[in-house]
Amino acid sequence: VPGHEIVGRVVRAGKKAKFLLDRKVAALLSHGGGCSRYVCIHAKDLVSLPETADSNEMVALLSTYIAAYQCLEFVQSENGMDPVGPSLDTAVSEDVKKSEESSSLTEVAGKKKSPLSGSCVLITGAGSPVGLALIDIAKNAGATVYAVSHSSHEKDIREIGVKEWYPLFRRQEWRAEWSGKMNLIVDTVGDYDNYPIFYEVMAPRGRFVRMNTTS
């Protein structure tokens, strides 16, 4: 049964998880099964949600936005080895704590500026769910986003505020226009023919990361 991201309500619980009964919860199922009417899952893998939480937004957050956020947090960190915490239920609190101690993707109470602020970020495959999440997070962190995607995704990409966009097949044009500009390149396509161009548009000491996308 397909489906990895779920939001629902607990209808049965074991002796040690009775406190979750009738609670609105979310979970990420590593082996699928989320399209079933009922799923059985360990209490430690659930995230308790407020009743006002929008189910669609929570589903998007579980894999799409978490994948995008962890990617950007990983590559912007000082040593490149500082991803978001290991579990969804602690990600928010740990992120706030880390933000207070060091630079993070977003500002905390206006005290710190994001390391991505003022940088140029290129996202290929920008029309995918993860690509759109990458755009959203990078823009809110103060980056100027450049996007490359299938032509059919142009409208969605421009609607979230991206001005610099090219269809992927016009490689020679975006290579020439964006030469040496990109501080960060996130590739969600995986076409090795693009790799030589990435290094041409990358700025000195720029970073390049290849990531998989969710379905």
- Tens of pLDDT along 164-213? 999 989 999 999 999 999 999 999 998 888 999 999 999 999 999 988 65
For 205, the token pair is: 């000491």
Q: What is the pTM of this model?
A: 0.71
Reported as half-sphere exposure (CB side, CA atoms, 13 A), residue 95 has a value of 19
Q: DSSP for the chain? A: ----EEEEE-----GGGGGGTT-EEEEE-TT--TTSS-----GGG-EE--TT--HHHHHHIIIIIHHHHHHHHHHHSTTS---S-SSHHHHHHHHHHHHHHS--SS-STTSS--TTTT-EEEEETTTSHHHHHHHHHHHHTTPEEEEEE-GGGHHHHHHTT--EEEETT-HHHHHHHTTT-EEEEEESS--GGGHHHHHHHEEEEEEEEE-----
Q: What pLDDT is stored for residue 38 in this prediction?
A: 94
Q: What's the confidence (pLDDT) of residue 103?
A: 52
- Using one digit for the tens of pLDDT, what is the confidence trace for 33-48? 888 999 999 999 898 9
Each residue's pLDDT tens digit, 87-146: 333 333 344 344 344 455 655 445 567 788 899 999 999 999 899 999 999 999 999 999
Q: What is the pLDDT of residue 106?
A: 54
Q: Are 133 and 160 in contact (CB under 8 A)?
A: no
* Cα–Cα distance, 114 to 103 (Å, whole number): 6
5-9/24-28 β-pairing: antiparallel
**pLDDT at position 68 over 80:** yes
Dig out the tokens for 61 from the structure: 């957050």
Say whether pLDDT at 51 is over 60: yes
Quick one: pLDDT band at residue 30, thresholds 50, 70, 90? confident
